[in-house]
Chain A
Amino acid sequence: MQFGIFSVGDVTTDPTTGRTPTEGERIKAMVAIAQKAEEVGLDVFATGEHHNPPFVPSSPTTMLGYIAARTERLILSTSTTLITTNDPVKIAEDYAMLQHLADGRVDLMMGRGNTGPVYPWFGQDIREGINLAVENYALLRRLWREDVVDWEGKFRTPLQGFTSTPRPLDGVPPFVWHGSIRSPEIAEQAAYYGDGFFHNHIFWPADHTKRMIELYRTRYAHHGYGTPEQAIVGLGGQVFMRKNSQDAVREFRPYFDNAPVYGHGPSLEDFTEQTPLTVGSPQQVIEKTLSFREYAGDYQRQLFLMDHAGLPLKTVLEQLDLLGEEVVPVLREEFAKNRPADVPDAPTHQSLTAAARKKEAVA
């Protein structure tokens, strides 16, 4: 099972000090956080993609390329890559390039983006969101899998005799996850291709996540990729820890109360009861995270949101120490228990390459 972190890349004022980091500081902080993730033994760093303030990561492969050069093991991913407003040709090129630079330590999570104005800024229409995700991804797959592509669709200039360069590393495209909070169409898309499905999970009650995951697993089996239990599932999570749980609650409360998305709404107590958010001791985080399996089944990737709401870099790095030293080792051990042998790990470049070679040998 893979453990990692995902960042929204928000520039948010620290409510306890009133200080707002500069964009430059936030960008460098994200890089420091990614490096720390590798240092403490996590597997994955995923960055969001946004094209509006107060968010900084508009250019994910620039950031991930830089991180790739400064890390050795860490898988670099996205949360999410905007399959609706990006040109699929540019996604094919950018992430194949990143694959080469990172020696295959790359995968992506496709998402639609829910900010209406971003669509027209990139020449699109949010009402076509699902159709854009469907058509653009179908083209992206072909660009990575076919050397020469002739293509015509509804949303983009036709292609005649187009070759996307560089070709994917070892001829094996990056593994793709599809992220969606509430669109069954996207769970079905992930299942149709045998791709992974990631549920953000963190702002919603568990029964909602459960329904989406169940739908994906059922359709994964329907499309013939294996049993429902073998589908590739990822979940988000959100935690704040201190050795003593009262200290965690006291320190995190002002960040929670003023956080973008859910701030000025439900109480910290209600929100931790109703959603996966855990504020407490490392042991509480372990218990809550292990409980995800009760409704999501045995899954492949757990990403935590650690650096939002204006938390200072120093605090985030301390959180990552706790996550890497006290939480994840226990989670690895516990999640491995009773895990059926035929439940696969999340695909990596190594496993996908080996599978491709094996298929070639059989052919």
Chain B
Amino acid sequence: MKLVVISAGLSVPSSTRLLADRLAAAVHGHTPVDVRVVEVRDLAVEIAHQFTSGFPGKALAAAQDAVAEADGLIVVTPVFSASYSGLFKSFFDVLDKDALAGKPVLIAATGGSARHSLVLEHALRPLFAYLRAVVVPTAVYAASEDWGAEGLPERIERAAGELAALMPGTADRRAVDDGVVPFAERLAALGR
């Protein structure tokens, strides 16, 4: 199965990527997955260009294809100004609007303090609900202090287990209808 990780951290190394990698490893512990990590930072310019030109550059198109073919996604953003980062949101703004339909998604975020942890419920969960993804119940927030505290590994493990449990079912849901609606049917639907 294919697991795609979208990481929107900006620094190298980044705690966002660190959390993303731990989540991916935990999923792999539950069920064998091929992991592909998309660093949104590397696609920043192509994302901006897609806003202006309407089509993705080569690297961004490859990332979008990977998302479309994924059996599950882990998405991780740093918290900026009380929400996901603009670049993280932009990646999904230029994605095909049906690309995530029916796909299991694990949402996660990092921040400097625990005070922003509900960003997952107030910002990320509605975004992925709008995109018709199946968002796993446990979302994972890691504040700076969590990296030295108890609780984070357990939350990672629980969220990963939930994602892994949802992934085997996606192959069926993913059956995208590439077929054309015959024109006669379309005409008939208008009542003629």
Hey, which bits of chain A sit against chain B, CB under 8 A? 130-131, 134-135, 138, 153-154, 184-185, 188-189, 191-192, 203-205, 208, 215, 219, 223, 261-266, 270-271, 274
Contact = CB atoms under 8 A, between A and B. Distances in A.
Interface of B: 48-49, 51-55, 57, 180-184, 186-187, 190-192
Contact of A138 (B54, B180, B192): B192
Main SS at interface, chain A: helix
Given A134-B187, A138-B187, A185-B181, A205 B55 contact: yes
Nearest to B52: A265
B146 to A, nearest CB: 40
B53 A154 contact: no
A192 B52 contact: no
Contacts of A271: 53
Contacts of A219: 180
27 contacts: A130-B186, A134-B183, A135-B190, A135-B192, A138-B192, A153-B190, A153-B192, A154-B190, A154-B191, A184-B180, A185-B181, A188-B180, A188-B183, A188-B186, A189-B186, A203-B53, A203-B54, A203-B55, A204-B54, A215-B180, A219-B180, A261-B54, A265-B48, A266-B53, A270-B49, A270-B57, A274-B57
A223 to B, nearest CB: 8
Given A208-B55, A265-B52, A265-B53, 15 more contacts: A130-B186, A131-B190, A134-B183, A134-B190, A135-B190, A135-B192, A153-B191, A188-B180, A188-B181, A189-B186, A203-B53, A204-B55, A262-B53, A263-B52, A266-B52
A192 B184 contact: yes
A309 B55 CA distance: 20
B152 to A, nearest CB: 41
Contact of B49 (A135, A153, A188, A265): A265
Nearest to A134: B186
A211 to B, nearest CB: 10
